[in-house]
């Protein structure tokens, strides 16, 4: 039986007041970083000595390791800095401890994640320290694989490549989201690099780490993108042949500079639907055990995302 419902995450960070008014059956809403608040709410005391000890929600052989939170970049389409705040890194020692703990529980692979892994350490020492972090955690005995996600192309710290070459347990794999390739679009998107820098960087990575597997993501349908820019992106992808590719449709986020540029295309609104529909369809089953009012609160939270998207959808249909 579920007696209390607490909601924590991006939606409640951004729309806490609206949610409190609209869905009153939720007992309390928490922001993304308010772990101490949640612990207090459930009658426990925060114990910093347990920092780094975790219950995994992934299968036991791998784990995500969040190395920093927030982001100082200014990408025009992205609401993450508004939700997650300024970039702040966990300390090297803390991450080494956390990784060692994970390995002691049977984890074989850790995936380094953050909004921007390449900025790791800049807020601590004034210098990018991802290479140093990789050196430290790759020396932990028993750790078979380290995989690097969400590296930002501008100012890529190239010492990471030499550490990758030196250490066998760092996968020759890099996730490097480029988002677009047209100079015009990259400028509108405020990404801080152009097509030439991207081409040079990819060439450099491939020559320094032969056989490396590159994954990227691109964003299409952003305001300002016409047939010409789309074709340029498509031709570039044909030419560069990334090993893995994710293509996302632009969706307008309130408070971002892209939001003010123009209304998003119909396809952008449509593109947001599937992931939200999944949440709504699983909630009645998942929460079947909850009291009726709590269950309905949970379902309404999930539906709230749909309403936001539907609203945008209607706006797009307006002449």
* Cβ proximity to ligand SF4, 182 vs 258, nearer residue: 258
Residue 119 CB, nearest approach to ligand SF4 (Å):
8
Residue 189 CB, nearest approach to ligand SF4 (Å):
9
The interface with ligand SF4 within residues 103-142 (CB under 6 A) comprises: 115-116
* Cβ proximity to ligand SF4, 41 vs 257, nearer residue: 257
As a whole number of Å, the CA-based R_g of the chain is 21
Q: For residue 6, list its beta bridge partners.
A: 28
Residue 287 CB, nearest approach to ligand SF4 (Å):
31
Binding flag, residue 152, ligand SF4 (CB under 6 A):
yes
The interface with ligand SF4 within residues 76-95 (CB under 6 A) comprises: 78, 80-81
Is the Cβ–Cβ distance between 99 and 137 less than 8 Å? yes
* Cβ proximity to ligand SF4, 156 vs 287, nearer residue: 156
55: tokens are 């219950």
Residue 7 CB, nearest approach to ligand SF4 (Å):
22
* Cβ proximity to ligand SF4, 115 vs 182, nearer residue: 115
Residue 242 CB, nearest approach to ligand SF4 (Å):
18
Residue 298 CB, nearest approach to ligand SF4 (Å):
28
Is the Cβ–Cβ distance between 84 and 71 less than 8 Å? yes
84: tokens are 């997650």
Helix (H, G, I), strand (E, B) or coil at 88: strand
Q: For the residues of 238-301, what is the DSSP string, one character each?
A: HHH--SEEEEEE----TTSTGGGT-PPPHHHHHHTHHHHHHHHHHHHHHTTTB-HHHHHHHHHH
Binding flag, residue 75, ligand SF4 (CB under 6 A):
yes
Given candidates 54, 66, 73, 304, which one binds ligand SF4 under the rule CB under 6 A?
73
Is the Cβ–Cβ distance between 223 and 262 less than 8 Å? yes
Q: For the residues of 140-203, what is the DSSP string, one character each?
A: STT--EEEE----STT--THHHHHHHH-TTEEEEEE---B---HHHHHHTT-S--HHHHHHHHH
Binding flag, residue 250, ligand SF4 (CB under 6 A):
no
* Cβ proximity to ligand SF4, 71 vs 143, nearer residue: 71
Residue 179 CB, nearest approach to ligand SF4 (Å):
7
Q: For residue 218, list its beta bridge partners.
A: 179, 247
* Cβ proximity to ligand SF4, 214 vs 297, nearer residue: 214
The interface with ligand SF4 within residues 187-246 (CB under 6 A) comprises: none
Q: Which residues bind ligand SF4 (CB under 6 A)?
A: 71, 73, 75, 78, 80-81, 115-116, 152
């Amino acid at each position: 039986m579920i007696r209390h419902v607490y909601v924590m995450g991006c939606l409640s960070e951004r729309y806490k007041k609206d949610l409190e008014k609209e869905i009153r059956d939720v007992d309390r809403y928490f922001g993304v970083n308010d772990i101490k608040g949640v612990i207090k709410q459930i009658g426990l005391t925060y114990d910093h000595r347990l920092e780094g000890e975790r219950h995994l929600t992934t299968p036991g052989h791998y784990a995500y390791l969040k190395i920093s939170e927030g982001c100082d970049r200014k990408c025009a389409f992205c609401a993450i800095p508004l939700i997650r705040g300024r970039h702040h890194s966990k300390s090297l020692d803390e991450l080494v401890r956390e990784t060692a703990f994970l390995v002691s529980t049977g984890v074989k692979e850790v995936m380094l994640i953050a909004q921007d892994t390449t900025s790791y350490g800049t807020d601590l020492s004034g210098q990018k320290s991802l290479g140093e972090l990789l050196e430290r955690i790759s020396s932990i005995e028993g750790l078979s694989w380290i995989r690097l996600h969400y590296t930002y192309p501008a100012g890529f710290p190239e010492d990471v490549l030499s550490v990758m070459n030196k250490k066998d347990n760092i996968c020759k794999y890099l996730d490097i989201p480029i988002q677009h390739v047209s100079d015009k679009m990259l400028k509108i998107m405020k990404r801080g690099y152009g097509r030439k820098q991207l081409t040079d960087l990819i060439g450099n990575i491939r020559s320094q780490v032969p056989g490396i597997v590159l994954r990227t993501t691109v964003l299409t349908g952003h305001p300002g993108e016409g047939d010409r820019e789309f074709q340029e992106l498509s031709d570039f992808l044909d030419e560069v042949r990334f090993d893995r590719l994710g293509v996302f449709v632009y969706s307008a986020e309130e408070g971002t500079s892209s939001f003010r540029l123009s209304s998003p295309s119909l396809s952008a609104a449509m593109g947001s639907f599937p992931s939200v529909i999944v949440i709504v369809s699983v909630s009645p089953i998942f929460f079947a055990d909850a009291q009726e009012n709590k269950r309905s609160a949970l379902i309404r939270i999930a539906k709230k995302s749909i309403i936001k998207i539907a609203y945008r959808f209607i706006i797009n249909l307006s002449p």
